[in-house]
A and B are shown apart, each in its own frame.
Chain A
Amino acid sequence: MNEEIIIAGFGGQGVLSMGKILAYSGVMQDMEVSWMPSYGPEMRGGTANVTVILSDSRISSPILKMYDTAIILNQQSMDKFEPFVKPGGVLIYDGNGITRHPERKDIQVYRVDAAEEAARMQSPKTFNMIVLGGYLKIKPLVSLDNVMLGLKKSLPERHHRLLPMNQAAIERGGEIIYKVEA
């Protein structure tokens, strides 16, 4: 198993931390992982993206051109990364703010309207966990138990009381994601 993922959106959407939680979950499940962020000024409000690789074997390049899965959270990232999903691969996106929806016919497209759902749940900060839950529904590579362990590891202890809320968000994401038929 070798899953190569790009997560891309605005800085502040929790792109990097979502990737980190996914990577930690992989560690909990005894996988090899890598987490390679775009870093620098982009982190402060511009676009942010992170490449996460989960694998059974030693990971070679942490930087890739083509991805098994792209998780896309804004229009710029859609424009940038849609062409780089491998044929037959998966594209997951949040429809909020998207003006040009995915056009490729050779990939599987899913939509998870996490921003809207987070607003409805009145917990905007769980936005990225709803997205993560959607991803895990489509690619159940790590168990929910290990995701929760990964989350616990990456959250500072003072925020551990928020774990149940995050778990609820992950579960909700799995419920609301749906396939967009080509």
Chain B
Amino acid sequence: MKGNEAIAEAAIRCGVDGYFGYPITPQSEVMETLMLLKPWETTGMVVLQAESEIASINMVYGGAGCGKKVMTSSSSPGVSLMQEGLTYLAGAELPCVVVNVVRGGPGLGTIQPAQSDYFQSVKGGGHGDYKLIVLAPASVQEMADFVELAFDLAFKYRNPALILSDGMIGQMMEKVELKPYKNRWTNEEIDQLHPWATTGKPAERERNIITSVELDPNAFERFNHKLQDKYRKMQEEEVRCEQFNCEDADYLLVAYGSSARICQKAMELARAKGLKVGLLRPITLFPYPTREIQALLGHVKGILSVELSEGQMVEDVRLAVDGKVKVEHFGRVGGVVHSPEEVVEALERKIIGG
């Protein structure tokens, strides 16, 4: 199954209530698959093609405000259009899931895979001090599994969660084990689970207002502090990453998503040459595995951050390392995908020899 199809299957199975989207390559299979599977006849999930990404993300806002599990998916230019909606969702503390199957930019760019939306994803993207929970799948299996994980985290923190994929993971086919179907929440369950949701005001409770506007500066400062507390808690409790051969590594590759897959092969090639190379794969990009990287600095002599960009995640690696060892970036861009051999060559040139 393709990565994009896995997103659609997993969404239906984990009890998503609504999907709103707009076609864009290379992720249109998500909505196409949903429309073929007709979940409205089985689980009752709503699927709607909106007039734009701006409308999709705001339909998501409306559904999320009702305590429903709602999601959208798009690719880079479309996700740029969604930034307004995302900052409003974060400001209104609404849970939802957005999938970005990244393609190369800037501008209309290319439909080929890239990882050049890292900054937009983990540093905010829209206006204001906010963060998205960002998950980076590196396999079709994770495309499926992370839909449910993203919803769990989104509802736990009342915060939008982003699945940051790319054209490679979206378009490739691998074996997937899909989870059994779960029931959607009933409206009664939503009343119990999410007392903040707008579900119609009964006499016995105060009215629920989903909003991000606060005109009193002191009150709004307090609200901003509350958001930051939430992000700190995520940083404490929700970091996820995977480590390969890191225990004895002299040199470390850090890569996420499709680039991590390429780096796994690069690591194997390097080990075959007798180089003690490890790979750390961040699964959450926010919160970032800062401490996990720091824990390896006792024996690691140099780090190559490898991503399909001109060097974005490398900044977070450098923040973690704080000058203690050499950190360099390597990556092909514009839809060109680096090969494992190129990664090994870059490691030797920039880190080991450099």
Contact = CB atoms under 8 A, between A and B. Distances in A.
B341 interface: yes
Interface centre among B25, B112, B174, B342 (most CB of A within 10 A): B174
B346 to A, nearest CB: 13
Nearest to B343: A61
Nearest to A52: B173
Interface centre among A32, A39, A59, A65 (most CB of B within 10 A): A39
Contacts of B268: 60
Interface residues of B, number: 24
A23 B173 contact: yes
Interface in B147-173: 167-168, 171-173
A62 B175 contact: no
Nearest to A65: B339
B341 A62 contact: no
B175 A61 contact: no
A39 B168 CA distance: 9
> How many of chain A's residues touch chain B, expressed as a range?
10 to 19
Contacts of A23: 173
A91 B273 CA distance: 27
Contacts of B264: 60-61
Interface centre among A23, A32, A61, A66 (most CB of B within 10 A): A61
A171 B261 CA distance: 36
Contact of A35 (B26, B173, B266, B339): B173
Interface in B295-320: none
A36 B168 contact: yes
Contacts of B341: 65-66
Contacts of A27: 175
Interface centre among B112, B173, B258, B261 (most CB of A within 10 A): B173
Given A60-B264, A63-B337, A39 B167 contact: yes
A131 to B, nearest CB: 19
B265 A61 contact: yes
A64 interface: yes
A40 B26 contact: yes
Contacts of A35: 172-174
Contacts of B111: 39-40
Given A61-B340, A65-B341, A36 B262 contact: no
Nearest to B341: A65
A63 to B, nearest CB: 5
Interface of A: 20, 23, 27, 32-37, 39-40, 59-66
- Which are the 8 A-B pairs with shortest beta-carbon distances? A60-B264, A65-B339, A61-B265, A35-B173, A60-B265, A36-B172, A61-B262, A40-B111
30 contacts: A33-B174, A34-B173, A35-B172, A35-B173, A36-B171, A37-B171, A37-B172, A39-B25, A39-B26, A39-B111, A40-B111, A40-B112, A59-B174, A60-B261, A60-B262, A60-B268, A60-B340, A61-B261, A61-B262, A61-B264, A61-B266, A61-B339, A62-B174, A63-B168, A63-B337, A63-B339, A64-B265, A64-B339, A65-B339, A65-B342
Interface of B: 25-26, 111-112, 167-168, 171-175, 258, 261-266, 268, 337, 339-342
